[in-house]
Amino acid sequence: MTNPFLRMGRTYSQRQRPFVRTVASYSRWATSLSAARLREEAAEIGAQLRERGFAAPLVAKVFSLIREAADRAINKRHFDVQIIGGRMMLNGMVAEMETGEGKTLTATLSAATAALAGIPVHIITVNDYLTSRDAEWMGPIYRALGLTVGSIVHGLDPAARRLAYGANVTYCTNKEVAFDYLKDRIVLGRDTDRARLQVERLYEKRPRLDRLLLRGLHYGIIDEADSVLVDEARTPLIISGAESSEESERATCQKALDLASDMVDGRHYVIDGHEHLVKLLDPGLEYLERASAGLSGVWGRRHWREQLVKQALSAQNLYLEGKQYLIREGKIQIVDEYTGRLMPDRSWEHGLHQMIEVKEGCEMTQRTEPLARISYQRFFRRYLWLAGMTGTAREVAGELWSVYRLATRHVPTNRPSKRQYWPTRTYATDDAKWNAVVDRIEGMHKQGRPVLVGTRSVKASEHLSQLLTQRNLTHQLLNARQDLGEAMIIAEAGHSGNITVATNMAGRGTDITLGSGVAALGGLHVIATELHEARRIDRQLFGRCGRQGDPGSCEALISAEDELPKLHSHGIWKVLRRAAPQQVYPSALRALNLRVAQRSAERLHRRMRRDLLKRDEHLDSTLAFSGRSE
C-alpha cells in the first residue's frame, strides 16, 4: 500500500525548478574558466563531494561545470530538462525521457559527478554499437574534467577489460558486465576473505586479486532501463565450461530428430506457442516407447528419451533460421529478439543448441556444463547505487519499484512533440499486409519523404526487401545478416526519399537526423509491419521520428496472420475473421484484439520474470551455507 506514496515522496522534490536556476546561476563563472582551471575546479569540487556528500549547492555547481565542458568539447550544451534528468539519476531514480531528448548527453551529468566524487561508474547500454558510439562521443567531456573513460565490447582480452574497468567511467553492455562479474566469482571461488586475498600477493605469482576484472559494483546507470531490467530479465545468465563430447552424441541427436519428424502435430504432440514449448500427448509417449524398444543407451530411459524428442520437436518447430538464429560461417548464431543483433558467444542450454546444429547440418559444438549463473534481477540489485533512463518506463514502473526499488519519474520534453500517430490498419492475410506496406512506401517515396520500416525478424525484413526490389524501389537493408555499414545506413536514413528496412537494430538508441528540406515535407515516416509483445518496443520504433520537435509520422500495418495475435489472442482472431471477413477490420474490434494479445503476452513475460526471480532467491537461500550463491 505504501509503495506509491514512497515513490511520490522520492520524486516530489524533482519537480521543482529552483535547482535548474541554481545551475544556471553558475554559468557565467564556469564560462570564465580556462581549460586548465576548469579541471582544477572539478577536482576541488570532487574533494568537497567526498567530504559533504551530494548536497544540492555542490551538485548544481558541478553540473554547471559539466555543462560548460560539454559545450566546449562537443559543442552540445545540456538543456534544462536534461539537468532535471541528470539530477534524478544522481538520486538513484529512473528518468523517463521521450525518445530523441538526449539521454546519452544527460547521463554525463550524473556519471561525471559521481566519478569526480571518486565513485567508479558503469554506464550500461544494450549493444556494442551504442557502447562504442557513446564512449567515443561523450569521452571528450569526461577528459575535459580530468576523468578517464573506458569501453567494454565483445572480444576484448582480460588485460584490456581490466584497464577499461579501471577508468573513472566505463561504458559497457549489460551482458558483458554481468558475465565479467560471473568470471570474477569463478576466480574467487568460495574463499572471498579480503585478508586472505591480500596475503596471497606475498606468495602467489598470479594472486586472485590481480586476476579480477571488475573493481566492484558501485554506481550503475542503465540506458534503456526497461529493456535491460525487464525485457531481458526472463533468461538467467549462465557461464559454462566445455564437457567432453562423445562421437555418439551426434548420432543420438540425429535419431531424436528422425523420431520427431515421424510424429504428427495434434496427434503425438501439441505446440504451445503462448508458452513457447512442446507438450507430448499420450499417443506420442506410446509411439516413443515402441520406436525405442530396440535401442540401447539413453533410449532405454523413459525420461531421457522424452526430453531428447522434446528438444528435437522444439528445434524443428519453435526455432527457425532467420527468426531465432542465423547460420554464419557454418555456425549457429542466436539473434537477440529485443535488439535484432547476433550473439555469437551465446548458446542454448540442455542440448538444444547441439540439436539445432545437427538439424542444420552444421559442425556440432561441445556441450557445456554450468559453472556459474545469476539472473539480471539479482545481479543489478548488487550495485550499491543504481539509476536508469529510458523513453518507455511508465508501463513497468511498478515492477521496477518492486524488484529493484527504483522510482520512475517522467521528464518533460525540451520542445513540444510534432509526431503524428496514424491509425493502425489490420489486414486479413500477410500478402494483403505486405502489398499495403509496399504501396505506402512507394507513396511516401514519391513525396520525397524518408521511410523507416520496422520488422520483427530477419526473414520478414528480407521478404520485404524482395518485394521492394520487384517494384524497383531502391532501399537499404539493416538486420543481423546485413549489419555491415550500420552507422552509415543510420546516418543516411533521414535523407530525402531514402527507404530503410530494418529489424530492431534500428530501434533503441538510434538517432536518425533529418536531411536538408525533409522537415518541410513532413519528416521521417515510420511503418511497423508487426506489433511486438510489449507496447514499449513499438513506442521505441515510433520514437525514431518526430524527435526534438521535428515533424514526423508513424503507423502500424499488421495482419491476422502475424505472430502476436496468433499466439496471444486466445482465438479472438478467428472470431473476428468470421464476423468481419472484409480485408480491413472495424477499429473497435481491431483495438480489442490487439489490447488482449499484447496484455496477454506482457502478463506471461511478467510471470516468467517473477518465477525466475523466485527460483534464484530459493537457490540463494538453499546454498547459503556454502557462502557462495552463484
Contact predicate 319/359, CB 8 Å: no
Region 466-493 average pLDDT: 83
Show the domain range for 281. Answer: 244-366
Residues 435, 385, single domain; the answer is: no
pLDDT category at 495 given cuts 50, 70, 90 is very high
Residues 84, 186, single domain; the answer is: yes
Q: What is the H or E stretch that residue 172 is in?
A: strand 169-173
Can you name the residues that pair with 556 across neighbouring β-strands? 528
The pLDDT tens digits for 263-319 are 988 899 998 876 778 889 999 899 888 888 878 777 878 888 888 899 999 999 888
CA dist., res. 41 & res. 61, Å (int): 10
- Whether residue 494 is predicted with pLDDT greater than 60 in this model: the reply is yes
Contact predicate 132/84, CB 8 Å: no
Residues 487, 573, single domain; the answer is: yes
Predicted pLDDT at 5? 52
Predicted pLDDT at 584? 47
pLDDT category at 3 given cuts 50, 70, 90 is low
pLDDT category at 583 given cuts 50, 70, 90 is very low
Q: Which residue has the higher pLDDT, 121 or 10?
A: 121
Residue partners of 361: CB distance under 8 A and separation at least 6: none
The pLDDT tens digits for 317-372 are 888 888 888 888 888 888 877 666 777 777 887 788 889 988 988 888 876 666 77
Question: Is position 608 within any domain?
Answer: no
Residues 393, 537, single domain; the answer is: no
DSSP 8-state secondary structure symbol assigned to residue 334? E
Question: Is position 623 within any domain?
Answer: no
Q: Which of 232, 233, 191 is nearest to 209 (CA)?
A: 191
Amino acid in the structure at residue 467: L
pTM over 0.85: no
Question: Is position 35 within any domain?
Answer: yes
Round to the nearest angstrom and report the end-to-end CA distance of the chain. 33
CATH no. for residue 269? 3.90.1440.10
Question: Is position 499 within any domain?
Answer: yes
- DSSP reduced 3-state for 443: helix
CA dist., res. 548 & res. 17, Å (int): 21
The pLDDT tens digits for 282-293 are 998 998 888 888
Question: Is position 621 within any domain?
Answer: no
Predicted pLDDT at 571? 56
Residues 422, 535, single domain; the answer is: yes
CA dist., res. 324 & res. 375, Å (int): 21
Q: Give the number of domains in the chain.
A: 3
Question: Is position 618 within any domain?
Answer: no
CA dist., res. 500 & res. 504, Å (int): 12
Predicted pLDDT at 348? 81
Predicted pLDDT at 1? 43
Q: Which of 103, 188, 115 is nearest to 150 (CA)?
A: 115
Contact predicate 180/213, CB 8 Å: yes
Residues 325, 398, single domain; the answer is: no
Torsional sign, CA 454, 456, 462, 468: negative
The pLDDT tens digits for 184-194 are 888 887 666 67
Residues 299, 434, single domain; the answer is: no
Residues 441, 544, single domain; the answer is: yes
Predicted pLDDT at 12? 46
CATH no. for residue 168? 3.40.50.300
pLDDT category at 247 given cuts 50, 70, 90 is low
Question: Is position 630 within any domain?
Answer: no
Region 157-185 average pLDDT: 93
Q: Which residue has the higher pLDDT, 258 or 365?
A: 258
The pLDDT tens digits for 75-118 are 999 999 999 999 999 999 999 998 888 899 999 999 999 999 99
Residue partners of 537: CB distance under 8 A and separation at least 6: 231, 338, 392, 504, 507
Amino acid in the structure at residue 508: R
Residues 230, 248, single domain; the answer is: no
CA dist., res. 517 & res. 617, Å (int): 56
Predicted pLDDT at 13? 47
Residues 97, 157, single domain; the answer is: yes
Amino acid in the structure at residue 583: Q
**Mean of the per-residue pLDDT values of the chain:** 84
Can you name the residues that pair with 364 across neighbouring β-strands? none
